[in-house]
Amino acid sequence: MSGHFWVVLLLIATAFRPLTQAEDLSGRVRKAVEHITLDQPGTKPFHLKAVLAPTLLRDSDSGRSGEIEMWWESPARWKRELRSPSFHQIEIVNDGRDWQRNEGDFFPEWLREIAVELVRPVPPLQDVLEHAKSAEVRRMMGQTSLDWVTNTGTAEVHNIRRTVVAMREDSGELLYAFGFGWGGGFHDYQNFHGRQIAHTVSLGSPECTAKVVTLEDLGDVPSGFFDAPAKDGDPQLLQTVLIDEITLQKNLLLLEPSPWPPLENGAIEGNVTTNVVVDRSGKVRETGSIVSENSAINDAGRQRILAMQFKPFLVNGVPVQAMSQITLPFKTVRPAGSEVFDTARSYFERGRKVGFPEAGTAPYVLRAEFEAGTKTGPAKGRYEDTWLSDSRWRREIWFENSHYVRSRDGDKQYQLAEGLEVGLLELVLRIIEPIPALATFQESDWRIKRETISEIRAVRVLAGYESPEGKLDPEQARGYWFDDNGLLLKTFFNGIESRRSDFQDFAGIKFSHHVEVLKEGHLAIRISVTEVTSPGEVPAKTFELKGHSSERTFTSEVR
C-alpha cells in the first residue's frame, strides 16, 4: 500500500462516531444561541451591514444577491434596509410602531429569513429549548446535533417537519440550525462586546451567503433617525405569516386536473411535498426542496404547485404573504416498453437475504482479517462474528490497542468500545454489513437505474445528490449496486467506496470473501474472510457482556 494509505484511513475513521441516546441539552442550546444573538436586551447598540450572494457559482443567475443594513438601538427601536434585484424595503420599528416603504410586490422568503438570521439565529428559541429536552442526539466529528420531527399534514395525508440544531463540542458555538421558516449555517465568529457574532450566514436552496462587512457601535444618529413619517410609508405593512397545511388548503381554489408524466422506475403513486410561499394575491411565488416517493416526479410536482391559486390570506382584514407546507398526491404509469424496477426496499431485502450469512438459518462463526493504515504504516486487524440466531449473536473486532464488541442475548444488547481506533472499528463493521436497516430510510429518497460494474449488469439504488456528470456528493450520496441475482457488488457512503468480490457459498448463502475500501480513489482498507464454519458448542456467556448493557440508538445498521 502507498504512503497515502494511512492518511486516507485517518480521514474516514474520524468520520464515524457512535450515536448517543437523547438527553437534556437545552441549557447548552440556550447558551449557544443567546451568546451569538444581537437582537436581545443588553446588546450594545450597533450598525450592521452585510452583502449577499449565491454560495455556488452555478447559482449566479438565481437572483439571490443584495445588501442588508441595520441600525439597532434596542429590540423596540431599530431601522433596517434590504435590497435585492427584485425587492427593496426600508422598515422602522419605534416603540410599538412599525413603518415600511416597499418597492416590489413580493418579499422573497430567502431575503426575509437571512435578514432575521443575521441578528437572531434561532427566532423560536423557547420552542426549540422545549423540544431539545427529548431530541435525538448525535455526536460526530467534534459536533453535537439535536433533531426532532413534528407531525404535520392533513387528515388524509400524514407528514412531518424536521428541526435540527448543531453545536461544536469544544467551544459550544452554533454551527447550523434549521426549522420551519428559519435557520442557517453560521461561520466566522467574531467578538462584539462579549458576544460572538457569526459574520458568515448561509441558507436556502439555491443557497445564499451573507457576509458581514460592517459591525460597529451605533454611535450618534441624526435627530429623528428612528421616526417614521406617515406620509412616506406604505398604507399597509408587508408581512409573512407561517400557517399550517390545513389552513393553507382551505384557501386553495379548484384547478383543472392534468395527467402526470409516466415514470420509468420507482414508485408510480405517492405524494409530493414542499414548503410554499404565497403572495398577497394568492399566487405561489416560492417553493422549497421537493420531497416525494419518486424524485423523477419532482419537477412536474413543482410546476403543478407553482400553478396553484389561493384566496388571499388575511390578518385583521389585510392581505399577507403566507408560508406553509403543501402536499399533492400523484398517480401515474410506466412508459410503454420500459424496464420495470422493484422498490429500493425490495432490493435491500433481497440483497441481505441472498448475500449475508446472518440472513440465513444456519448458525456460523465467521473470521476475517483486515489491513488498514496507521501513522507508522499498514497494520492488520481481525474480526469475528458468532451467530446463532437473530437474538443471539456477537460481533467482535480488534486493531492494534483498540477493541470493539456488539452482542445480543435475547432481549438484552451489549456494547464495549475501548481504544483510540473505535471509529475505524465501527466503520469496518458497517462495511462488512452495509445494507441499511429498513426502518431508517424513506422509499422516496432512492432512485433506481441500470449500470455496469466491472462488466456485470447491475441495478444501482441511490439516494442523495449526483451531479449532471454522474459524480456523487461525498457528504450526501448513498449508493448500492446489486447484480441480477441480488448480490451486493459495490457501496458508496460518506465519500467511501467499497468493492465486493470472491463470492463463496455457505449453507445456501453466497457472500463476498474479499472487500476493498477506497477513499478518493485510493485503497484504504482490505477485508478478507479467512474462515466460515459451524459454531459447534457455544458457551452461554459468550453473548453477555456484564457492565456493558446498551440500547439501540438511531443507526442505519441492522446489527
Query: What's the whole-number mean pLDDT along residues 95-114?
Result: 95
Mean pLDDT score across all residues of the chain: 89
DSSP state of 547: T
Among 546, 517, 513, smallest CA distance to 530 is for 513
DSSP state of 34: H
Question: Helix, strand, coil proportions of the chain in percent (round to 5)?
Answer: 15, 45, 35
Return residue ranges of the chain for CATH 3.30.1150.
240-331
> Element (H or E) spanning 355, and its range?
helix 344-355
Among 127, 142, 161, 126, smallest CA distance to 17 is for 142
Share of the chain above pLDDT 70, in %: 94
Query: What's the whole-number mean pLDDT along residues 411-433?
Result: 93
What local confidence, expressed as pLDDT, does residue 211 receive?
A: 98
DSSP state of 419: S
What local confidence, expressed as pLDDT, does residue 11 receive?
A: 42
Query: What's the whole-number mean pLDDT along residues 424-442?
Result: 89
- Please give the grid coordinates belonging to residue 76: 423596540
What does each C-alpha distance from 535 to 247, 395, 539 come to in angstroms?
Answer: 61, 14, 11
Backbone angles phi, psi at 266, to 5 degrees: 80, -175
CA dist., res. 208 & res. 342, Å (int)? 38
Query: What's the whole-number mean pLDDT along residues 319-334?
Result: 94
What does each C-alpha distance from 544 to 274, 388, 405, 416 come to in angstroms?
Answer: 47, 14, 11, 11
Most confident range, picked from 1-15, 107-121, 413-427, 539-553: 107-121
CA dist., res. 395 & res. 405, Å (int)? 6
CA 493 from chain centre, in angstroms, equals 14
Angle (CA) 445 446 449, round 5°: 155
Band of residue 24 on the pLDDT scale cut at 50, 70, 90? low
Q: What is the per-residue DSSP string for 454-469? A: TTEEEEEEEES-B-TT
Query: What's the whole-number mean pLDDT along residues 96-102?
Result: 93
Among 369, 514, 430, 420, smallest CA distance to 10 is for 420
Among 513, 493, 497, smallest CA distance to 505 is for 513
* Helix boundaries (H) for 21-89: 26-34
Query: What's the whole-number mean pLDDT along residues 294-303?
Result: 89
Please state, as a whole number, how many other Cβ atoms lie within 10 Å of the Cβ of residue 376: 8
DSSP state of 148: E
Band of residue 18 on the pLDDT scale cut at 50, 70, 90? very low
Tell me: pLDDT of 470 over 80: yes
Summarize pLDDT for 186-235 with one digit per residue, the tens: 999 999 999 999 999 999 989 999 999 999 999 999 988 998 776 788 99
Tell me: pLDDT of 26 over 80: yes
CA dist., res. 228 & res. 80, Å (int)? 12
Backbone angles phi, psi at 344, to 5 degrees: -60, -40
Tell me: pLDDT of 514 over 50: yes
Tell me: pLDDT of 2 over 70: no
Tell me: pLDDT of 468 over 80: no
What local confidence, expressed as pLDDT, does residue 230 receive?
A: 64
Sign of the torsion formed by the C-alpha atoms of 134, 136, 139 and 143: negative
Provide CATH code, domain 344-550: 2.50.20.10
Summarize pLDDT for 57-87 with one digit per residue, the tens: 989 999 999 999 999 999 999 999 999 999 9
Q: Which residue has the higher pLDDT, 394 or 340?
A: 394
Provide CATH code, domain 240-331: 3.30.1150
Band of residue 431 on the pLDDT scale cut at 50, 70, 90? very high
Q: Which residues pair with 277 in a beta bridge?
A: 286, 323
Share of the chain above pLDDT 90, in %: 68
What local confidence, expressed as pLDDT, does residue 555 receive?
A: 67
Are the CB atoms for 265 and 448 separated by under 8 Å?
Answer: yes
> Element (H or E) spanning 515, and its range?
strand 509-519
Query: What's the whole-number mean pLDDT along residues 529-557?
Result: 86
Report the b/e string of 222-241 with b at 16+ CB within 10 A: eeeebebeeeebeeeebbbe
Summarize pLDDT for 156-188 with one digit per residue, the tens: 777 788 899 999 988 889 999 999 999 999 999
Tell me whether strands 97-103 and 136-140 are parallel, antiparallel or unpaired.
unpaired
Summarize pLDDT for 451-461 with one digit per residue, the tens: 999 899 999 99
Query: What's the whole-number mean pLDDT along residues 82-106?
Result: 95
What is the three-class DSSP state of 5? helix
What local confidence, expressed as pLDDT, does residue 314 receive?
A: 96
Band of residue 533 on the pLDDT scale cut at 50, 70, 90? very high
Query: What's the whole-number mean pLDDT along residues 252-268?
Result: 83
Among 27, 203, 11, smallest CA distance to 118 is for 203
CA 521 from chain centre, in angstroms, equals 25
E runs forming strands in 231-389: 240-242, 269-278, 284-287, 291-292, 313-315, 318-331, 364-374, 377-389
- How many C-alpha atoms does 498 have within 13 Å on its Cβ side? 29
Burial of 109 by CB count in 10 Å (0-12 exposed, 13-18 middle, 19+ buried)? buried
CA 239 from chain centre, in angstroms, equals 29
Tell me: pLDDT of 284 over 80: yes
Tell me: pLDDT of 120 over 50: yes
What local confidence, expressed as pLDDT, does residue 552 receive?
A: 62
What local confidence, expressed as pLDDT, does residue 395 receive?
A: 97
Return residue ranges of the chain for CATH 2.50.20.10.
344-550
